[in-house]
Chains A and B, each alone.
Chain A
Amino acid sequence: MNIKAVIAANRFGLGARTGELDVVDHDPQRWLLDQLQGPSRLSADLRRLPDTASVLVEVGELRRERRDQRQSSDDEPAPDIVKKYGRTVREHYIEQTQARYRNAASTDFPFHERLVHFWANHFAISADKQPIPAIAGLFENEAIRPNITGRFADLLIAVEQHPAMIVYLDNQRSIGPGSTLGRRANRRRDRNVGLNENLAREILELHTLGVAGGYTQEDVTTFAKVITGWSIGGANDNGRFADGEPGEFEFREIIHEPGTHEVVGRRYSQAGVKQGEAVLHDLATHPSTARFIAAKLARHFVADDPPARLVDELAGTFLETGGDLGAVYAALVTADEPWVNTYAKYKTPHDLVISTFRAFDHVPDDRRFVVGALDLMGQTPYRPGSPEGWPDTAEQWGGADALYKRVEWCNTVARVVGSRANPVELGAAVLGPALQSSTRKAVSRAESTVQGMTLLLASPDFQRR
């Protein structure tokens, strides 16, 4: 078997399932690129999920109910409504998380799925802010999943106009000082009205140009003005608005800053929502964006310190094709660099959990198992803690205690599901020719199946990809 099959299945994919290496071995690069063809596929688990608008409406009603009770009694809110809110949000979160990891554990398109996770992390929202836990998985399926093989501009606009991103980075609260509502409020000297730069800053810093990509504080402020009015339909928390389709993206002219604006060296005279979209189109094909995305992809798929030649090539492809992501992936897969080292990356806990479940072809029924495991290992699903997303290097995941937690978890998994397979056979099935003789020896000499399985899962071979 060609070692390329192992790299394709374990580094580009999500970890081999039993029998997968034989399929991949026919033509590893073809196997990867074929996954990007055809219509977007949704597993039954994902198809069953509700849409963001309906969840936002449901959760919004509970929030208002909670607030109304608080105001009427001028007291602590009634505990049952607080509990109901928490339970509702948690139910959605667990359901979406479970669907995500079940799908990842069973998909026949693991490279496509890894790219979905990659982009969801690039455009990270974090469940430590309400009501993100109730919609984070939906954001991934609605804004990211359908758009990862087309043009980066389309992905970018879908993301920035998704209600989850708008609410996560406060844009529905940002009010243009020269807008109809802003001017009215300023006359009343209402201090609670003005710009919020959060979304504009993160688009420039984290989603497109990168922090050194050549923009200024002035650009951030102006861009924030350009996207004032990018909001969510229906009543907001303080009941200020009511128009628009509840829970859907809504452009609100009344808070939009009018006029021509200059952002990153270009003037934009469009009216309304078109102005922000025009800025996003230009940012999406900016050379700094090309480099930023190229380096991130190369870091994820090739090495923590990605080879400069490859980054140049990917950035070049990105620019020449106007940000055609399919062309960039093709350049990545057909380059030489990804195929040199078998174990180029230290798995994140997310990678480790998915590849373990794929190896066993089994996700435990306990709905909290996945969240519990990832929480313990420091990568709580959809909760990176900041819009920067999770880090992607061994240096940042390689804490001593973090390794110990992995060992504890591998041991726990081995106890729970380890008896489903023979560890020596499983090692050969998922690592193929990459299984080192020292690992094979240690696993085969183990005093029990559970111990053998623990050693296999905790081995450097399985902890890397």
Chain B
Amino acid sequence: MVTRRDILRTAGAGALVSALPGVAFARANTDARLVLVVLRGAADGLAVAAPYGDGNYRRVRGELALPSPGQEDGVLKLDGMFGLHPSLAAVYDEYQNDRALIVHAIASPYRDRSHFDGQDVLENGAAAVGLLRDGWLNRALAPLGGALGNEAAIAMAQNTPLVLRGDNSVTSWAPSQLPDADDSTIQRLQDLYADDEFFATRLAQALKSQEIAADQGGMDRMRNRGNDAEQARTMMQATARFLTADDGPRIAVVEAGGWDTHANQGGAAGALANRLAGLDGGLAALRDGLGPAWSSTVVVVVTEFGRTVHVNGTRGTDHGTATAAILLGGAVNGGRVVADWPGLGKADLYAGRDLMPTTDTRSLFKSVLAEHLDIPDSFIDSTVFPDSAAARPIRDLIRI
């Protein structure tokens, strides 16, 4: 009987052997896992990591201000200035083990307030909207040597988000509820697609992912059901299985929506608290699923921009600028908050309303790529993040 694996070998033979530029393949750290979590909708950094020690915090945040550490529903103390939202218990565990850190007052170079353009800049890695049509993480894959059927990166979604789109082959996977087509039909479909590269490439990638999912035992039957928190956990468990498969990808991108809290955002409890609890549960599931591989993993949690410092007329916050990013995983040199804190006084704010950005998101990404994946600085500066000289790497984010 012909199996999927055989079909795949046939299809992959001779395809995309390697037309990559002369980059040092050998340097790539093949054990390292990277998970990029993109929070879509602009997550409120002042709620993720509250600057409870800033003298202006309670004044500007009003009813959305979180209680100080030690109080009922208080923030989880990160240091004398910052506290983690009480919903982020698993992240805090890692923080206390020096395996998580927060980068605060961080923003991409984008300075307007459209979600869609903000995500475009966060993901294309350029200084402005539309300057690059592919994603920075896709460009970073070149030195990692993935090829068709053996992709280095996976999008945990049906469709690949911009950050992973580009010339380097990536795959994608999402749970399904339908029965598989039988092998004979799939094989005939591969023949039919042979002359059409768009379809041929995608089917080959999908079959590879199906194969890993099946090898890992029944994941192809995984249900896309349950509430948001359950789905987040399920998705992260699947991510862990892909990242621990023998010939699976080492890099994954996971997306989560629902952060656009214009109304009734809530404080220690409420809408945003529930979202954060879902995220935290997902991150815990990822850690548990990765097992020993957690020690060589870095998870980066980012969002397109932050939210207004002040509360709006509907107990929520509007689109802002700087926000907080979370870095966690066994490879993270954590237990600290990295921030050149701009303050929350009237004169400290960006455009009189937003947290002032003091760190470029690209500085964070550059450090992770260089220190964790061993991608050469010169390649990062020339290809992954062109024209980003002003955004210097943060350094020492990763345990060596």
B-binding residues in A (CB < 8 A): 128, 170, 173-175, 191-198, 201, 205, 211-212, 217, 220, 346, 372, 376-378, 385-386, 388, 394-405, 407-412, 438-439, 442, 446-447, 451, 454-455, 458-460, 463
Question: Quick check: A211 and B114 within 8 Å, CB to CB?
Answer: yes
Closest partner residue, chain B, to A378 (CB atom): B158
Among B62, B178, B313, the one with the most A-chain Cβ atoms within 10 Å of its Cβ is B313
**B178-211 residues at the A interface, CB under 8 angstroms:** 178-182, 184-186, 188-189, 191-193, 195-196, 198-199, 201-203, 205-207, 209-210
Minimum Cβ distance to chain B for residue A464 (Å): 9
A397 / chain B contacts, CB cutoff of 8 Å: 159
- List 30 A-B residue pairs with CB atoms under 8 Å apart, sorted by A's residue number: A173-B314, A175-B313, A191-B63, A194-B314, A196-B263, A196-B312, A196-B313, A196-B314, A197-B312, A198-B318, A212-B129, A385-B257, A386-B116, A395-B165, A398-B198, A401-B155, A401-B159, A401-B171, A401-B174, A402-B158, A402-B202, A403-B199, A405-B158, A408-B180, A411-B181, A412-B179, A439-B192, A454-B181, A455-B188, A460-B199
Residue contact B311 to A403, C-beta cutoff 8 Å: no
Instruction: Name, among A192, A212, A404, A407, the residue most crowded by chain B CB atoms within 10 Å (CB to CB).
Output: A404
Residues of A within 8 A of B112 (CB): 211, 217
Chain B residues, Cβ within 8 Å of A399: 155, 157-160, 172, 202
| Minimum distance in angstroms from B297 CB to a CB of chain A | 23
In the complex, are the beta carbons of B192 and A442 less than 8 A apart? yes
**Contact digits for B86-127, partner A, Cβ 8 Å, 1 yes 0 no:** 000000000000000000000000001111110000000000
In the complex, what residues of B have CB within 8 A of residue A410's CB? Answer: 181
With a cutoff of 8 Å between Cβ atoms, the chain A residues found around residue B313 in the complex are: 173-175, 192-196
Q: Encode B234-257 as 1/0 by CB contact (under 8 A) with A.
A: 000000000000000000000001
B188 engages A451 (CB within 8 Å)? yes
B159 contacts A398, C-beta separation under 8 Å: yes
Residues A386 and B312 in contact, CB atoms below 8 Å apart: no
A408 near B160: Cβ-Cβ < 8 Å = no
**Using a CB-CB cutoff of 8 Å, which residues 196-238 of chain B contact chain A?**
196, 198-199, 201-203, 205-207, 209-210
- What residues of B have a CB within 8 angstroms of the CB of A386 in the complex? 41, 115-116, 260
Q: Please, what's the 1-or-0 string for B165-176, where 1 marks a CB less than 8 Å from any CB in chain A?
A: 100000111101
Main DSSP-derived SS at the B contact region? loop
CA distance A412 to B196 in the complex (A): 23
If A386-B115, A402-B172 are given as contacts, then 19 extra A-B residue pairs at C-beta distance below 8 Å, sorted by A number, are A173-B263, A174-B313, A195-B312, A196-B263, A196-B313, A197-B312, A386-B41, A388-B116, A396-B159, A398-B160, A400-B171, A400-B172, A401-B174, A404-B206, A405-B176, A407-B186, A408-B179, A411-B185, A460-B193
Across-interface contacts of A128 in B (CB, < 8 A): 258
Q: Which residues of A contact B182 (CB under 8 A)?
A: 451
Query: Using a CB–CB distance below 8 Å, which chain B residues touch chain A?
Result: 41, 62-63, 112-117, 129, 155, 157-160, 165, 171-174, 176-182, 184-186, 188-189, 191-193, 195-196, 198-199, 201-203, 205-207, 209-210, 257-258, 260, 262-263, 311-316, 318-319, 351
Known contacts A442-B192, A451-B184: A394-B172 contact under CB 8 Å: no
From the candidates A175, A192, A454, name the one contacting B315 in the complex (CB within 8 A). A192
Contacts of A446 in B (CB 8 A): 188
Question: B314 to chain A: closest CB distance in Å?
Answer: 5
Contacts A401-B158, A411-B179, A459-B192: A170 and B263 contacting too (C-beta < 8 A)?
Answer: yes
Return B207 CB to nearest CB of chain A, in Å.
8
In the assembly, what is the distance between CA of A395 and CA of B138, in Å? 14
User: 3 nearest interchain CB pairs?
Assistant: A194-B313, A399-B159, A404-B206
B88 shortest CB reach to chain A, Å = 23
Residues of B within 8 A of A412 (CB): 178-179
Chain A residues with CB under 8 A of B203: 400, 403-404, 407
Q: Least Cβ distance of A125 to chain B in Å? A: 14
- With both chains docked as a complex, state the minimum distance between the C-beta of A431 and any C-beta of chain B, in angstroms: 14
CB distance from B208 to the nearest CB of A (A): 8
Known: A201-B113, A399-B157. A451 touches B185 (CB 8 A): yes
Expressed in whole angstroms, the Cα–Cα distance for A205 and B114 within the complex equals 8
A191 touches B165 (CB 8 A): no
B178 touches A408 (CB 8 A): yes
CB-CB under 8 A from B41, the residues of chain A are 386
Q: Report yes or no: B199 in contact with A463, Cβ–Cβ below 8 A.
A: yes
Which residues of chain B are within 8 angstroms of A220 by Cβ–Cβ distance? 113
Residues A192 and B351 in contact in the complex (CB < 8 Å), given A399-B159, A399-B160: no
Query: Which residues of the partner chain B approach A403 to less than 8 Å between Cβ atoms?
Result: 199, 202-203, 206
Report the separation of the CA atoms of residues A402 and B315 in the bound assembly, to the nearest whole angstrom: 38
